């Protein structure tokens, strides 16, 4: 069966899984917790007019994601009629989830995106990273990508460099 052609007005599916992008600071507890997704608000503030569907799938730190969670994410991406999918995700295990999605992207463009500071913070990288993800979803050929730090990476060619607090091409880690 041939997949349907993607048109410029087909909605982008956004699956939220948690991670720093959706963290809240609780003063009384002096810790961060993942709250309700802020993605709809970010898209409204950015005046995004492209059709979008947002599905809150999980509310977990990526270090707490397990194989069952990754299977759920991959299954939702595979069963969705959307050919362009953006997945918000914590940065620590983003590449592991990208690996789990590799088989579902033969006819889809799947973008994983996160933030190094919560989206609710004024100095967050979340809005920019999300904008990169939306742009990539609209123009990249089928495959799995990660958009972080102003760069679009093929998901199998990137790692998080914890020392520098950034994502880099695999060959640049030393």
The pLDDT tens digits for 116-146 are 888 878 888 999 999 999 999 999 999 999 9
Question: Residues with Cβ < 8 Å from 114, sequence gap 6 or more?
Answer: 19, 20, 21, 62, 88, 89, 90, 91, 94, 126, 129, 148
The pLDDT tens digits for 11-55 are 999 999 988 887 776 555 556 666 677 788 888 888 989 999 999
The pLDDT tens digits for 82-125 are 999 999 999 999 999 999 999 887 899 999 999 988 887 888 89
Q: Which of 5, 22, 13 is nearest to 114 (CA)?
A: 22
The pLDDT score that the predictor gives to residue 32 is 65
Cα(41)–Cα(51) distance, rounded to whole angstroms?
14
Does the structural domain 12-172 have CATH classification 3.40.50.1170? yes
Which candidate in 16, 17, 20, 104 is catalytic?
20
H helix intervals, the chain: 39-45, 67-79, 94-101, 126-139
Q: Measured at the alpha carbon of residue 129, what is the angle toward residues 128 and 135, in degrees to the nearest 5?
A: 90
91 is catalytic: no
56: tokens are 């809150």
């Amino acid at each position: 069966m041939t997949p349907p052609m993607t048109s410029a007005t087909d909605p982008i599916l956004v699956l939220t899984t948690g991670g720093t992008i959706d963290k809240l600071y609780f003063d009384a507890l002096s810790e961060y917790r993942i709250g309700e997704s802020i993605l709809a608000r970010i898209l409204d503030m950015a005046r995004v007019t492209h059709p979008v569907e947002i599905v809150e799938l999980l509310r977990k730190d990526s270090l707490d994601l397990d194989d069952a969670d990754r299977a759920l994410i991959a299954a939702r991406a595979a069963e969705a009629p959307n050919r362009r999918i953006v997945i918000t995700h914590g940065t620590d295990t983003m590449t592991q989830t990208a690996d789990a999605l590799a088989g579902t992207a033969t006819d889809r463009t799947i973008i994983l995106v996160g933030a190094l500071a919560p989206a609710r913070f004024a100095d967050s990288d979340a809005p920019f990273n999300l904008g990169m993800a939306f742009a990539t979803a609209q123009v990249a050929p089928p495959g799995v990508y990660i958009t972080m730090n102003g760069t679009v990476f093929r998901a199998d060619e990137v790692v998080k460099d914890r020392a520098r607090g950034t994502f880099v091409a695999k060959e640049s880690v030393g």
